[in-house]
Amino acid sequence: MIAGWAVVLHLSYLPMRVSKHGRYCCALLVVFLSMTGCSMKLPDPPKPPPRFAAAARLVPPDRMFTLSDGADLPARVWQAQGQPRGILLALHGFNDSRDAWEQPAPFFAGQGITVVAPDQRGFGEAPNRGEWAGSDRMVQDVREEIAILQQENPQIPLYLTGESMGGAILMLLMSGTDAPSVAGTLLLAPAVWNLGLGADIPLDVLATLFPHHLVTGQELPVHVVASDNPAALLRLYFDPLTLRATQLEALRGLVSLMKQAATAAPQMKGQLLCVYGDKDQLVPSKAMAKVWETLPKGTRLDLISGGHHLLLRDKNGKQVMQDMLTWITQPDSFLPSGGDVAASAWQAQNPAKTEGKWFPASWLDSLAR
């Protein structure tokens, strides 16, 4: 089965002799035919070989966030060691879960920063697993989580961080007229990409006709590297909380979220740090460069040399952690990685115009086999 997402994003790779309208129709037809026999039931987690058994562990949540509509969102918590200097509310990416933060969280906890990582609605063990709750509801969830944490810890600075989709959600939250008052927002390879007029039409049609049909990335005709850390990719693949198939409705929601986030960039409020890796194969450099140009004056930009999409899970992920920590604790200092200087040089070079290929990281099944 060919993933609908892959077809939408590869419209421009169809033969140029086919008209734009024809390309849309061809893409739509290919996806429709490929969906024959598709299941609407989420697949069970894969069973790892004995040597990878630890990668399939299910870690129970440390707490629940009970929200205004009665939903309970589970979260993992890594408590700060010693006197707490801050709290980091950490949001995962598309098809990922609270476990996305288990590699960097101990580092921050050791530096006196508590990390709270909830499952976002529709992901992990949160309600309506596999369904798209809508960006408005997801933003409201984060707003309520912020209020709960600030009520529980009125004297401790609260920071927000989000990876990929989580970063896009934070961009919507912090661009609103009623953006919450927090100590700062850290965006890690946020999912930002305006695909352009008409590019999402095939997906929109399919999601309307078959909203609950599932697509996967097992047959993608490309090789995408989300991280250079095989252990992290194995954990992502075998983690029982990871989603391995995606409803077309959820893909449509993600595409809309990316466009909304890119548009919201100029209106963001508060102290901001945005981190991007120059080896990111999921969020195109052109899309990120456009967002960097429109973020509010004073935003700190951090370009990580050799960094992939899953920045904190890369082999050099600690470099990103150090930058984040420095920005939190010494906001006027240069970043240890030199990423702020690299970002300025990168922008001056006018990043490559070629659009990249964007796929949810959890679709990279073949990398973990």
Split into its structural domains, the chain has a count of: 1
The whole-angstrom separation of Cα 138 and Cα 159 is 18
**Beta bridge pairs of residue 247:** 214
* pLDDT on residue 52: 92
pLDDT over 70, % of the chain: 82
pLDDT digits (tens, 9 = 90+) for 190-236: 999 887 767 778 888 888 999 988 888 665 556 688 999 999 999 99
* pLDDT on residue 263: 96
Asked if the model's pLDDT at residue 175 lies above 90, the reply is: yes
CB-side neighbour CA atoms (13 Å) of 163: 33
Cα-Cα-Cα-Cα torsion 86, 89, 90, 96, nearest 10 degrees, comes to 150
C-beta separation of 261 from 168 below 8 A: yes
User: Which CATH number belongs to the domain containing residue 294 in this structure?
Assistant: 3.40.50.1820
pLDDT digits (tens, 9 = 90+) for 283-329: 999 999 999 999 999 999 999 999 999 999 999 999 999 999 999 99
* pLDDT on residue 359: 54
| CB within 8 Å of 37: residues ≥ 6 apart | none
What is the pLDDT averaged over residues 163-167? 99
By DSSP bridging, strand 113-118 and strand 86-91 are parallel
Structural domain that includes position 73: 4-368
Write down the pTM of the prediction: 0.88
pLDDT digits (tens, 9 = 90+) for 100-152: 999 999 999 999 999 999 999 999 999 999 999 999 999 999 999 999 999 99
pLDDT digits (tens, 9 = 90+) for 329-344: 999 999 999 999 999 9
* 185-221 b/e (C-beta count within 10 Å ≥ 16 → b): bbbbbbbbbbbeeebbebbebbbeebeebbbbbeebe
The answer to which of 21-25, 182-186, 215-219, 226-230 has the lowest mean pLDDT is 21-25
Asked if the model's pLDDT at residue 35 lies above 90, the reply is: no
By DSSP bridging, strand 72-78 and strand 113-118 are antiparallel
Q: Measuring CA to CA, which residue among 330, 273, 259, 333 is closest to residue 304? A: 273
**Beta bridge pairs of residue 160:** 89, 185
